[in-house]
Structure formats: C-alpha cells, structure tokens
Chains A and B, each alone.
Chain A
Amino acid sequence: MNYFPDEVLEHVFDFISSHKDRNSVSLVCKSWYKIERFSRQRVFIGNCYSISPDRLIARFPGLKSLTLKGKPHFADFNLVPHDWGGFLDPWIRALAKSRIGLEELRLKRMVVSDESLELLSKSFLNFKSLVLVSCEGFTTDGIAAIAANCRFLRELDLQENEVDDHRGHWLSCFPESCTSLVSLNFACLKGEINLGALERLVVRSPNLKSLRLNRAVPLDTLQKILMRAPQVVDLGTGSYVHDPSSEVYNKLKSAFQRCKSIRSLSGFLEVAPRCMSAIYPICTNLTFLNLSYAPGLHGNELTKLIQHCRKLQRLWILDCIGDKGLGVVASTCKELQELRVFPSDPYGAGNAAVTEEGLVLISAGCTKLNSLLYFCQQMTNAALITVAKNCPNFIRFRLCILDPIKPDAVTNQPLDEGFGAIVQSCKGLKRLSLSGLLTDQVFLYIGMYAEQLEMLSIAFAGDSDKGMLYVLNGCKKLRKLEIRDCPFGNAALLEDVGKYETMRSLWMSSCEVTLGGCKTLAEKMPSLSVEIINDTDQMEFSLDDRQKVEKMYLYRTLVGHREDAPEFVWIL
C-alpha cells in the first residue's frame, strides 16, 4: 500500500481529525498504522479500564491531548458506590515519567486527587487545558497548584464536580505573569472567592472568551468584570440578585450593552427576576441559554426573556416554564436544535409543570430540533407520534417521565407505539433514553429501526428476556447499554456473548441475572471484565449461583482485570 512516502501520508492524516476516522486509518495496513500512531495527538479513552497508561504511551508518543472517562453513567444517579474506581493517579504518574508533552486533559467521572493535580501541574511545561466534568476527590488546593504552576494555562473548566472548597485563595495563585487564560469556569465551587484577585485576573487576560462564575461572585463584581472584559463570548453569572433600582444595576445594564460578543449565557445560581431586563440587549444574539439552575425565574419574566432570544440554538431550562412557556419557545426560537427541560423539584414530589403538550408545541415550532432531554409529568403515544413526524432529525432523544412506569396519560396504554414512532422516523438516532410503561414491543421496534443507535438507557421496562434480545440482536452499532429494574435475565445476557466485545460496556442493576449467569459469561469471554458491585452491607458474596446480582457492570478491556478494585467489587 505504499504509494506515497511517509511524509505525504502523514500530511494527509493531518486532515483527519475524528477519532473514528483515525482509528479506521490505523487498521488499513502496518505502515499506515505506524504513520498514524506517530502523528496522533489526540486520544479519546471512553473507559479508563479498557487500556493501560503504559500501552497508551507506548503507542502514541506524540500524545498531546487525552480524554478519559471513568465511572459508568449511572454513577451520576448514585447507583455506583463512592470508591468504585476511576482514579486519575496512575495515568498522571505514568505520563509524568514518560516523555509525553501533555497539553490537554479532559476527564469525566474520574476520581482526581490533589496530588495528581499537583503532579500534573509540575510535569508538563506546555500544559494548556484542564477540563473536569463530574469528577471528585480533589479540593481547591489542587486547583491552586494548577493555577500556580501551569504557566501557559489557557483553559480551566470545572463542570459539576464535587470539590472540597478550602475557600478562595486558589484564584490568587495565578501568577501576575499569567496572561494566557481563554476559558475559566468555576461555577461548581461552593466557597468564597477573592473578588479582587478575580478582577485582576480578568484584567490581565485579554484573550478571555469564556468565564463562568460561582455563586459567591455578586452582581456588582460581575458588572466590574464585564466592563473590563467586553470581549467575552460565553458568560456564566454568579449570584444575579440585586435591587433593580440601584446604581450598580444601572452600571450593569450599560456593561451588558457593551458586550456585543456574548453568544452563550448561563449561571443565575441565584436570580432576581426583576433584574433580567439588563440582559435583553444580549439576548438577540444568544445561541445558548442555560437557566436550569434558576427556579426563581418563571412565569412572565421567563417568557419575556425567551421572547428576546430569536437566535437560540440550545436552551436548558426548568420545567417551571410550563407547557405555555414552551409554546413561547416554539414560536420564538426557530433555530432551536437542543432543548433540555429539567425538573424543578428533583425529589419527585410530582409537581412537574410540563406535559406532552409542551413537547408537541416545541416539535411543531422548532423543526431543527435534534437533541432532547425532557423531564415531564406525563406523555402520550399520540404526542410522541406527532413529535416523530415533526422532528425526524433527532440524534439524542431522552425522555424522562417522573413516574417511571406511567402509561399513556390518555389511553392508559404502554408507550411502545410512541417510542416506536421515534425510532422509525429518526433514522440518525444515536442516543435514546426510555421511560413510562413499556413492554417488550418497544424493544422490538428499537431492534428493528434504531440502526444508528449507540447508547440506550432503560429503566423499569419490558416483560421478558425477549426485550433485551431484540436490542442486542438488532442494534448493530450499540456501544453502551444501561439497564435498571427490568426483568431481563441470564437467557438474554448469555445468548450472544460475542456482542459485548463490540460494545464499550453493559450495566445491569436490579434485573434478573444471577451470579451463575455472570460467571458463565466471564468464563466464555476473557476479553471482558465482569464486575459484580455489591454495596449493601448485609449481602455477602454468597457462592450461590442462583443468587440474583444487584449490580453488574461489564466492559471490554485489553488489559485484563483492574488491580484497584475495592472490596465490594468482585471481578469474575
């Protein structure tokens, strides 16, 4: 296959950036594999236990940007015990020892210690970008180390992490010489911030484009910051509460008028509805608006705000917007591609203010919609069928009816037909989450029609093993399957064991699979790691194969069983 010298191939490969494409390129022949691996700079590892740091380093010596994911998705909802795993430390230690010139690290659901962060900050001279999403295990001391030691830091992005906040001084650790910041997001930090240090940092960061503040930053500081950084494109406010008749508020209004570049707005961790008018001037150009942390904003003030946002492409809100409010979104936001409606009462007291009506209105008005996350009170087949007809472009469709086995609110039938319509109509559907009363029939539809489906989340659904089998047999591109509280057992699990090698992972909790079934699977498939997670104190690892397994998580791996599993995890 060597029609061209290596340099030419390398140059061609430079244009190939998607991970999938680069992976395919590396499989063509040995020489392409070799050229690809030396030129590869960005690597994505969807399951940190599927490969080891050493093998990563050996294969990709030119690595600059690494993305790592740790815990399974259901860990977000407290289904995975705390110390299950996903530690960053071995990766950092191995990378630090090597000659890798790491510049970018993006982590999701990993356990990150302060020591790791400190080692990271000191080991890579050119380190530029740290993005932590849903991680835990570190404190603001670790962040301080990053701030202090990474001389060319461009991006520090902390999203929804559990951080032990030692209050404020980490901001002061950015040296005076640090002027390279482009993106700073500390919205998830709970503690006080040195406001003066923040202002000074903003002043000496002319390239700052993205700034997301935490709740401790009051509105008057926001005003000062905006005056000094009118070039900002993505803004997350801190506490947005003030007296609208005050001088500070007036200054804020003028500050916003000068910020012609803001396209993305979030925050409002505390919000005074009467202060929203200051934002109207920037609403016209907004493409992303996130009000999902602002339960204080609803009714007229909310809809008035939305009516200014005609160019919105992504909207995250709380269900207190109501069906009528969604109607306003539908008639205003014609460019909308992504909508997320979160429950304002997440403890499920059943007061969700949106129903199938709101969703239908959205589908009729926002035909470009391709990504949906919708927590609602109820749904109907008719509505879903209408939605499927109106919006055939869904890539992500996640519906969460707060009562997880609620049937069609009008006919009392299962919602099989509704979801069936979605998968049939949306030929590009990659991610699907189901809820409501569902029988095996919905899985028949999914297996038949959801050809591009990569991730499927199922809860409280199905009648028998057939349901799971329809999916495993039908969805050829399935990568992640997560199931809880469904009557799927060993027969489904074991029918096609080779299937799991084509997938990243399978999660099953509170289903019908037994210890014996899992053991059989583990025996047949040494390339899989089959973990039994046992987090209730009373249950011991009984050797009774007929015992149902509470939580099973299996994933393909090239490096065998992990060595860092805690006591309550049994790897078969």
Chain B
Amino acid sequence: MSLEEAPGSLESDVTSMRFEDTELTLGLPGEGRSPAVIAGVKCSAKRGFVETVDLKLGSCSRAPSGGGDTHVNEAGAGKPPPAKAQVIGWPPVRSSRKKAINESCKYVKVAVDGAPYLRKVNLGVYSNYHDLMKHLENLFTCCIIRKADREESKVMDAVKGMEYVPTYEDKDGDWMLVGDVPWKMFIESCKRIRLMKSSEAAVLAPKASLKCSGTC
C-alpha cells in the first residue's frame, strides 16, 4: 500500500499523516500499485504505522548490505529514505523464532591484509578455534596455508612466505589476538576478524604464544 502521490490517488482523508515518515514502500522506488487499483478509492488506514516502529529484537549481525534495505524499510518515489520504520507484525514470524535465528546467526567479516575483498563467516558453525582457522585457510587458499602441526593460530603464506596473525575486533572496539578467551566467549564478543601481517602484529604482541585448544 504505497502512498506515493500518483495521479488520481485519493488520499485526502489522511492528509494529516506525514507521508515521508509513514511511507511504507513495499517495493523498489517507482514500483507502484497498478493503476487500476490506485484509481479505486483507497482510503487505506496507515495510522497503524505512524509512530509505531517495531521493536528491534537485536538485528542480525549481517548488516544490511547495499540493496538489502529494499523492502519495508525504504522510502519511495524519489524521496530520501526516512528513519527506518518497520511494519509491526510483518512478516508474520513469531518473535521466538526471530530471536532464535538471530542468535545462531553470527556472521562476521573476515579481512586479510593484501586480499582484494573480504569474506563473511558464520562463527556459529564452528566448535573451536582450530575449526575456524582451518576454514579461514580454505577461504583464502590462494594466499594462506596453515601450519597444522604446530597447532598455532598463526597462518602462513606458502607462496610469499609471509605470516599472518589472526586478530579480531571485540564489542568494545579493541583489536585483540584470537585465541585468548574461551571459544564461546569469543563468539559472543567478536565483531570482525582481521588476519594481520605478522610484521605488523609483531609490534603488538611479540611473544604471542597462543593456546589453541582442540575443544571449546
């Protein structure tokens, strides 16, 4: 029910509402209702959306990437996007389900110094650091090989002979060395991962010897 000011739309009843804020453009800008419908009397009740913003029960750490905000969150017809207003109760999914999905959804970005792009991994699918590091090795196979026998959290670049040290940004915004805290605690606090070139990391923690236990 877009409130775009299409010609012939009969929204005079609801002029008191501020379209910019309540505009529920359910589709990409420009995609409006079919003309047949707009011509019909549509004094649709938008009151429900006016100031009722859905309780965000903690959005998934998958930040909406460009274009992800297309649907209920966007403004319409050439207007700048308003403050995000979600429709209450839409999509019709129970809050317990929404919460549960969010909790098992721990996607974080992984950056490797020198790699042209970042990757995303879901920390929830790994049981310990060892698991995670193995997978990171797979993600960046072209540039990283891990020294399996040493069970350390250092990764090696077989080609260039460079070493990488895994670091992560925690909830407080600090850059930490991966492996110090128990795995579960790590998942809770990790916001993003960066595989830092050893040369740079050496400055931070020259004697970093990491306990990377096989269990969590």
CB distance A375 to B91 under 8 Å? yes
Measured CA separation A523–B33 after assembly (Å): 39
CB distance A484 to B89 under 8 Å? yes
A475-486 vs B, CB cutoff 8 Å, 1 = contact: the mask equals 000000000111
Measured CA separation A484–B214 after assembly (Å): 53
B residues near A433, Cβ cutoff 8 Å: 92
CB distance B97 to A243 under 8 Å? no
With contacts A295-B104, A403-B71 taken as known, whether A162 is within 8 angstroms of B96 at the C-beta atoms is yes
A residues near B72, Cβ cutoff 8 Å: 348, 403
Nearest Cβ on chain A to B146's Cβ, whole angstroms = 15
B37 is an interface residue with CB less than 8 A from chain A? yes
CB distance B27 to A406 under 8 Å? yes
B residues near A459, Cβ cutoff 8 Å: 90, 92
CB distance A487 to B42 under 8 Å? yes
CB distance A346 to B101 under 8 Å? yes
A167-197 vs B, CB cutoff 8 Å, 1 = contact: the mask equals 0000000000000000000001000000000
Measured CA separation A345–B47 after assembly (Å): 26
Measured CA separation A407–B55 after assembly (Å): 28
The closest CB in chain A to the CB of B100 belongs to: A293
CB distance A269 to B37 under 8 Å? no
CB distance A78 to B214 under 8 Å? no
CB distance A188 to B96 under 8 Å? yes
Question: A residues 334-350 with Cβ under 8 Å of B?
Answer: 342-350
A9 is an interface residue with CB less than 8 A from chain B? no
B residues near A460, Cβ cutoff 8 Å: 1, 26
Cross-chain contact of B125 among A134, A273, A457 (Cβ < 8 A): A273
Measured CA separation A137–B203 after assembly (Å): 54
A residues near B98, Cβ cutoff 8 Å: 346-347
CB distance A400 to B91 under 8 Å? yes
Measured CA separation A320–B153 after assembly (Å): 31
Cross-chain contact of B37 among A349, A351, A439 (Cβ < 8 A): A439
Nearest Cβ on chain A to B74's Cβ, whole angstroms = 9
CB distance A296 to B97 under 8 Å? no
Cross-chain contact of A437 among B37, B126, B127 (Cβ < 8 A): B37
With contacts A160-B97, A512-B43 taken as known, whether A271 is within 8 angstroms of B69 at the C-beta atoms is no
Nearest Cβ on chain B to A301's Cβ, whole angstroms = 10
B residues near A343, Cβ cutoff 8 Å: 91, 93
CB distance B34 to A272 under 8 Å? no
B residues near A403, Cβ cutoff 8 Å: 26-27, 71-72
With contacts A74-B89, A78-B95 taken as known, whether A348 is within 8 angstroms of B122 at the C-beta atoms is no
Measured CA separation A475–B45 after assembly (Å): 25
B43-58 vs A, CB cutoff 8 Å, 1 = contact: the mask equals 1111110011011100
Which of B59-67, B159-167, B168-176, B188-196 lies at the interface? B59-67
CB distance A79 to B56 under 8 Å? no
The closest CB in chain B to the CB of A433 belongs to: B92
B82 is an interface residue with CB less than 8 A from chain A? no
A413 is an interface residue with CB less than 8 A from chain B? yes
With contacts A270-B104, A349-B71 taken as known, whether A402 is within 8 angstroms of B91 at the C-beta atoms is yes
CB distance B54 to A78 under 8 Å? yes
Measured CA separation A71–B43 after assembly (Å): 29
A414 is an interface residue with CB less than 8 A from chain B? yes
B residues near A400, Cβ cutoff 8 Å: 91-92
Task: Report the interface size for chain B: residues with CB under 8 A from the other chain.
Answer: 60
CB distance B70 to A487 under 8 Å? no
With contacts A78-B95, A405-B33 taken as known, whether A485 is within 8 angstroms of B71 at the C-beta atoms is no
CB distance B40 to A510 under 8 Å? no
With contacts A188-B96, A346-B97 taken as known, whether A272 is within 8 angstroms of B125 at the C-beta atoms is yes
CB distance B131 to A437 under 8 Å? no
CB distance B122 to A243 under 8 Å? no
Question: A residues 42-60 with Cβ under 8 Å of B?
Answer: none
A residues near B105, Cβ cutoff 8 Å: 295-296, 344
A542 is an interface residue with CB less than 8 A from chain B? no
The closest CB in chain B to the CB of A436 belongs to: B26
CB distance A487 to B43 under 8 Å? yes
B118 is an interface residue with CB less than 8 A from chain A? no
Measured CA separation A345–B124 after assembly (Å): 16
A224 is an interface residue with CB less than 8 A from chain B? no
A residues near B90, Cβ cutoff 8 Å: 77, 348, 404, 459
A residues near B86, Cβ cutoff 8 Å: 347-348
Cross-chain contact of A243 among B34, B51, B127 (Cβ < 8 A): B127
Question: B residues 22-47 with Cβ under 8 Å of A?
Answer: 26-27, 33-34, 36-37, 40-47
The closest CB in chain B to the CB of A488 belongs to: B45
Measured CA separation A317–B98 after assembly (Å): 14
B206 is an interface residue with CB less than 8 A from chain A? no
A567 is an interface residue with CB less than 8 A from chain B? no
The closest CB in chain B to the CB of A438 belongs to: B37
Residue among A76, A160, A161, A405 with the most chain B CB within 10 A? A405
A66-88 vs B, CB cutoff 8 Å, 1 = contact: the mask equals 00000000101111000000000
A residues near B70, Cβ cutoff 8 Å: 349-350
B residues near A536, Cβ cutoff 8 Å: 51-52
B residues near A407, Cβ cutoff 8 Å: 33-34
Measured CA separation A204–B27 after assembly (Å): 57
A389 is an interface residue with CB less than 8 A from chain B? no
Measured CA separation A257–B48 after assembly (Å): 54
A221 is an interface residue with CB less than 8 A from chain B? no
Measured CA separation A296–B106 after assembly (Å): 9
B7 is an interface residue with CB less than 8 A from chain A? no
CB distance B122 to A296 under 8 Å? yes
CB distance A487 to B44 under 8 Å? yes
CB distance A160 to B73 under 8 Å? no
Measured CA separation A406–B72 after assembly (Å): 11
B80 is an interface residue with CB less than 8 A from chain A? no
A509 is an interface residue with CB less than 8 A from chain B? yes
B130 is an interface residue with CB less than 8 A from chain A? yes
Can you give 28 contacting A-B residue pairs, CB < 8 Å?
Answer: A76-B92, A78-B54, A79-B89, A134-B96, A219-B127, A242-B127, A243-B130, A271-B124, A293-B100, A293-B101, A342-B93, A344-B105, A346-B93, A347-B86, A349-B69, A351-B68, A404-B90, A407-B34, A414-B37, A439-B36, A457-B92, A459-B92, A464-B41, A484-B89, A487-B42, A510-B45, A510-B46, A536-B51
Residues of B within 8 A of A (CB): 1-2, 26-27, 33-34, 36-37, 40-48, 51-52, 54-56, 59-60, 62, 64, 68-73, 86-98, 100-101, 103-105, 122, 124-128, 130-131, 214-215
- Counting from the closest, the 8 A-B pairs by CB-CB distance are A77-B89, A510-B48, A350-B71, A296-B125, A349-B68, A346-B98, A403-B26, A346-B93
